[in-house]
Structure 1
Amino acid sequence: MNSIDLNADMGEGFGTWSKTDDDGLLQIVTSANVACGFHAGDPRTMRRVCQTAAERGVSVGAHVAYRDLVGFGRRFVDVEPDELRADVLYQLCALEGIARSAGTTVRYVKPHGALYNTIVTHEAQARAVVDALTDWGAGVPVLGLPSAVWLEMARDAGLSTKHEAFADRAYLPDGTLATRSRPDSVLHDPEEIAARVVKMATEGTIVAIDGSVLDVQPDSVCVHGDNPKAVAVAQAVRDALGDASVTVKAFA
């Protein structure tokens, strides 16, 4: 690859509580997945992140989620499709309004946490998310795992789809992410993570937990913003990509 996007989850706090170093990450990444208030985030935080992203030329994405503040959006919710459709639409419209007031706009959509993983295979919830996107009508790209059923539905609905890989998460042999209940599911060493991302970008491969080699062609690579070492990881990744002559730029 000649270029790749580097994204991170942002605005993941509520009121005075915060899990992400938004200012630090916005000096490094090219795309910001902004929490829309359902798994984390509040209007003031959303506006602050959007304003800083606009000032620094970072693309804003809607990080839509289940209505699950207590569980940080990482628990499956057996929600009816019509309710999920409305919840996602609500989040999209809220962030778009705030982004415009801050001098930018929502340029892509990426589901968060359990919703992200569920709609890889759950057709009813996948359809609800895609229906919300078509209701919204902005026509922006959507970002997810290459094999996800919701991306197939999004393509059929005329939306541009982008593939994502994860810098700091372990992969199963089928190309999905290892559950966070596994002790080896999250990587923490910045240099190890940076080396993985360079291999993704230059060779199109990643090594799964069992040692098998997976083919990946990511348009964007994610660094989880709630990792205590997120800023160090993001900087190590960006530096390593530069050393490998890979340009880091937003896909949207």
Structure 2
Amino acid sequence: MIDLNADLGEGFGRWRLTDDAALLSVVTSANVACGFHAGDPSTMRRVCALAAERGVRIGAQVSYRDLAGFGRRAMEVPAEELAAEVAYQIGALEVFARAAGARVAYVKPHGALYNRVVHDGEQAAAVVEGVLLADAALPVLGLPGSRFLAAAAKAGLPTVTEAFGDRAYTEEGTLAPRGHEGAVLTEPDTVVERSLGLAREGEVTTLSGRRIPVRARSLCLHGDTPGAVELARRVRARLEEAGVRVEAFA
């Protein structure tokens, strides 16, 4: 059994990056941009309404305040400020989730913040504090073995481990930086088979060719990957053909 999540609502104004409607017919959890790296009130409202209509769980994808850099630039944000900004983003999305007859079901950091809290204990604790300010019962989604999940568990938040079907891994079990050649996988057969291996065997092959364990309850496919919709459909079909039940964790 595995959850299939994707980053959605990553547009702003007239600009749209992800095919939200199509992806919401495939995934079981939607990581919705909350306005700091992408997204705006109209987009958040529309995605929440579609997700609720289709029974897809709504997650707050919180980020550094970085619209220009799509939340993928390293930033130095004081812990107290970061905690407040995380809570603010969750609260904003909750308004639209409730209006759609649903709730924010979990929280996932985005981009540079996601990678930062794998190793940075102070930033990890700040994100956890922000989640606690919003709702002390919200599950958080993150990389296995990260400082973020450790801090969340210590604070009493439910934790959910995540793997990536379309990203390359280092031998340490972290995601290869996007600047590295081969860090983002776009070849459909590779992504499909990697996703199946993660779901059934809990293993992945690193950039160096070594097999390492990656135990995850949720599998992420990026919505901004070329051909993302068809790729997500192929991944889900392959998982179900192999006897893997695709079901939301939240």
TM-score, with structure 1 as normaliser: 0.98
Q: Which residue of 2 aligns with 1:116?
A: 114
Q: Which residue of 2 aligns with 1:101?
A: 99
CA contact 1:63–1:110 (8 Å) conserved in 2: yes
Cα distance in 1, alignment partners of residues 146 and 198 from structure 2: 19
**Could you tell which deviates more after superposition, 190-199 or 41-50?**
190-199
Deviation at 1:138, TM superposition (A): 4.3
Q: Percent identity?
A: 56
CA contact 1:189–1:233 (8 Å) conserved in 2: no
TM-score, with structure 2 as normaliser: 0.98
Deviation at 1:82, TM superposition (A): 0.9
Cα distance in 2, alignment partners of residues 248 and 137 from structure 1: 27
Cα distance in 1, alignment partners of residues 38 and 62 from structure 2: 10
Which of 207, 210, 218 lines up with 2:208 in the alignment? 210
| 2:141 is aligned with 1:173 | no
Q: Which contiguous aligned blocks of 4+ residues in structure 1 show a shift greater than 4 angstroms?
A: none
> How many residues get paired?
250
| 2:250 is aligned with 1:229 | no
Q: AA paired with 2:235? A: V
Q: Which residue of 2 aligns with 1:29?
A: 27
| 2:151 is aligned with 1:153 | yes
SS in 2 for 1:17: coil
Cα distance in 2, alignment partners of residues 15 and 167 from structure 1: 29
Q: Which residue of 2 aligns with 1:190?
A: 188
SS in 2 for 1:110: strand
Cα distance in 1, alignment partners of residues 35 and 136 from structure 2: 20
Which deviations, in whole Å up to 9, do the C-alpha atoms of 1:119-156 show, x marking residues without a partner? 11111111111111111124111100011101111001
- Over the aligned positions, Cα root-mean-square deviation in angstroms equals 0.8
SS in 1 for 2:44: helix
CA contact 1:164–1:220 (8 Å) conserved in 2: yes
Please give the residue correspondences for 1:36-51 in structure 2 after superposition, counting only pairs within 5 Å.
Answer: 36-51=34-49
CA contact 2:136–2:157 (8 Å) conserved in 1: no
Which of 230, 239, 242 lines up with 1:241 in the alignment? 239
Cα distance in 1, alignment partners of residues 214 and 79 from structure 2: 31
Which of 88, 109, 118 lines up with 2:86 in the alignment? 88
Cα distance in 1, alignment partners of residues 26 and 189 from structure 2: 16
CA contact 1:36–1:92 (8 Å) conserved in 2: yes
Q: AA paired with 1:16? A: R
Gaps of 5+ in 2: none
Q: Which residue of 1 aligns with 2:69?
A: 71
Cα distance in 2, alignment partners of residues 191 and 80 from structure 1: 42
Which deviations, in whole Å up to 9, do the C-alpha atoms of 1:202-241 show, x marking residues without a partner? 1111000001111011100000011121101101110100
Gaps of 5+ in 1: none
